[in-house]
Amino acid sequence: MTPIISKLPQTGTTIFTVMSALANEVGAINLSQGFPDFDTSPELIKLVNTAMKKGHNQYAPMPGVQSLRERIAEKTEKLYGAVYNPDTEITITAGGTQAIFTAITAVINPNDEVIIFEPAFDCYAPAIKLMGGIVKSLELEPPDYRIPWDMVKRLINSKTRMIILNSPHNPTATILHKEDIDELSALVKNQDILILSDEVYEHLIYDGETHHSMARYPELQQRSFIVASFGKPFHATGWKVGYCMAPAFLMSEFRKIHQFLVFSVNAPLQYAIAAYLKDENTYLSLPEFFEKKRDYFRKGLEQTKFKLLPCSGSYFQSVTFDDITNEKDSDFSLRLTKEFGVAAIPTSAFYTKGTDHHVLRFCFAKRQETLDKAVERLLKI
Ligand code: GLN
């Protein structure tokens, strides 16, 4: 047979799969891939069971279960002041990653340029390249990973079609501030530039900070796909249910792809989440819940030779390890998993050029005893 011409010749297996597999193989504590090791709420599980018993076991409507889209519209209006029409502007997806892929596929044409900020979540660039788009990446630097807006301005030209933002940010745990929003608004004004805003950690934000959703700012909202997730807030990453919100002119293109990519998403879970969302405390309580874990883990790490980077949101804590070794972060993360029994993600995996600032990312969405055990092992280094 003629050899297949790879569409993504430079792409290997995602770092999350690689590190989780290694952690399982050697029996390490897995603080690499981001997922909780505690269970989702029993009440939510009961609601799924009820939905199944009620017979919600056939295809959900293509855009998602109506009541869930309505709850999302209510939540968005209440939190961010934006009005989305559940019929035409909200679609339930099989997790955030599918929403991101679908949004990019829907609007990126060959030679369109897309600006991303690195370290960047690893699904953005491949989707852009598959569409023949050109990835324009701008590297950010620790400890603050602030976006240099003057450099963004220099990257913008007539081919710029999209800017991808992510706040709270994975992997760096930084957040966008009001000044970033002002800079962004000034840059895109009167330009044909769309925004893809990955907000899957919207409810995981700490120290009383505000989540600057694109939905708060009409001039940004009207050009944005906003991607969100239920896996993170409800401790159910394996359910793979998320959603995308966008103005109707964008959402109609999104749905053209969505209907042939997944058609529709797991029906009983959607009914259950819709019922669960009626209580706003299910998500409003999250900053306090995760902030405690963050503080607990940071206190533990302070005793080790790792140096803490700031953490304003998400469930990730990054550290530098210059006092420990000169190894590449990728090598050190392998050794850390095999020799010390703790798995982390090397941040160089999120840079196109593999830029290595000697930063590792740990996930602290874990039970206290898991965090204790991990710190105990890290103290041995
Ligand atoms: N969002 C999760 C993380 O950053 C993992 C997602 C995935 O494995 N695709 O670890």
Q: Which of 16, 123, 200 to mutate to test the pocket of ligand 1 (most atoms within 8 A of CB)?
A: 16
259 three-state secondary structure = helix
Residue holding tokens 């930063």? Answer: 359
Single-letter residue type at 263 = F
21 CA from centroid of ligand 1 (Å): 13
CA of 69 to the centre of ligand 1 (A): 24
Burial 127-148 (b: 16+ CB within 10 A, else e): bbbebebbbbbbbbebeebebe
CA dihedral 309, 149, 226, 171 (to 10 degrees): -20
* Beta bridge pairs of residue 228: 243
* Choice from 98, 170, 229, 347 to test ligand 1 binding pocket (greatest atom count within 8 A of CB): 170
Distance 123 CA to ligand 1 centre (A): 10
Minimum CA distance residue for ligand 1 atom 4: 34
Q: What pLDDT, on a 0 to 100 scale, did the predictor assign at position 335? A: 98
**Nearest C-alpha to atom 1 of ligand 1 is from which residue?**
34
| Tens of pLDDT, residues 277-297 | 999 999 999 999 999 999 999
End-to-end, the C-alpha distance of the chain in Å comes to: 51
β-strand pairing of 359-363 with 242-245: unpaired
Structure tokens at 274: 């819709």
- pLDDT grade for 219, boundaries at 50, 70 and 90: very high
pLDDT (mean) for 326-340: 98
Ligand 1 atom closest to Cα of residue 121: 4
Residue 158 is predicted with a pLDDT of 97
How many Cβ atoms are within 10 Å of 285's Cβ, its own excluded? 13
**pLDDT for position 267:** 98
- Predicted confidence at residue 257, as pLDDT, reads 98
The residue whose CA has the least distance to atom 8 of ligand 1 is 16
Atom of ligand 1 nearest to the CA of 32: 10
Which pTM does this prediction carry?
A: 0.97
User: Which pLDDT band, with edges at 50, 70 and 90, does 222 fall under?
Assistant: very high
How many angstroms separate the alpha carbon of residue 17 from the centre of ligand 1? Answer: 9
- Mean pLDDT over the full length of the chain: 98
Residue 229 contacts residue 236 (beta carbons within 8 Å): no
116 alpha carbon to ligand 1 midpoint, in Å? Answer: 18
Q: What are phi and psi of 235, to 5 degrees?
A: 55, 45
CA of 103 to the centre of ligand 1 (A): 18
Atom of ligand 1 nearest to the CA of 200: 1
In angstroms, what is the span from residue 46 Cα to ligand 1's centroid?
26
Report, as an integer, the average pLDDT of 93-109: 98
Please give the number of the atom of ligand 1 that sits closest to the Cα of 345: 10
Number of H helices, E strands in the chain: 14, 13
Residue nearest to atom 2 of ligand 1 (CA): 34
Q: Is the Cβ–Cβ distance between 343 and 22 less than 8 Å? A: yes
49 Cβ neighbours under 8 A, 6+ residues apart: none
Tokens of 44: 């939510």
Contact between 237 and 34 (Cβ < 8 Å) = yes
**Which residues lie with the beta carbon below 6 Å from any ligand 1 atom?**
16, 33-34, 97, 170
In angstroms, the CA 112 to CA 224 distance is 17
Question: Ligand 1, closest atom to CA 123?
Answer: 9
Average pLDDT over residues 15-40: 97
DSSP per-residue letters across 13-41: S-HHHHHHHHHHHHT-EE-SS---SSPPP
Closest residue by Cα to residue 161 from 122, 195, 123, 126:
195
Spatial distance between the Cα atoms of 99 and 85, rounded to a whole number of angstroms? 18
Q: According to the model, what pLDDT value does residue 105 have? A: 98
Ligand 1 centroid distance, CA of 191 (Å)? 32
Q: How many CB atoms lie within 10 A of CB 322?
A: 12
Residue nearest to atom 9 of ligand 1 (CA): 16
Would you say how long the chain is, in residues?
381
Task: Give the C-alpha separation, 45 to 47, whole Å.
Answer: 5
Q: What percent of the chain has pLDDT over 70?
A: 100
SS3 call for 362: strand
pLDDT at 378: 98
Nearest residue by C-alpha to atom 7 in ligand 1:
16
C-alpha 357 to ligand 1 mean position (Å): 21
Considering only CA atoms, which of 49, 43, 70, 90 is closest in space to residue 281? 43
Please report the pLDDT score of residue 226 as a whole number. Answer: 99
Map out the domains of the chain with their CATH numbers: 15-40+284-378 (3.90.1150.10), 55-281 (3.40.640.10)
State which ligand 1 atom lies nearest to the alpha carbon of 20. Answer: 8
34 CA distance to ligand 1 middle (Å):
5
The residues that bridge with 29 in the sheet, in sequence order, are: 342
Residue 283: CA count within 13 A, CB half-sphere: 24
- In this prediction, residue 55 carries a pLDDT of 98
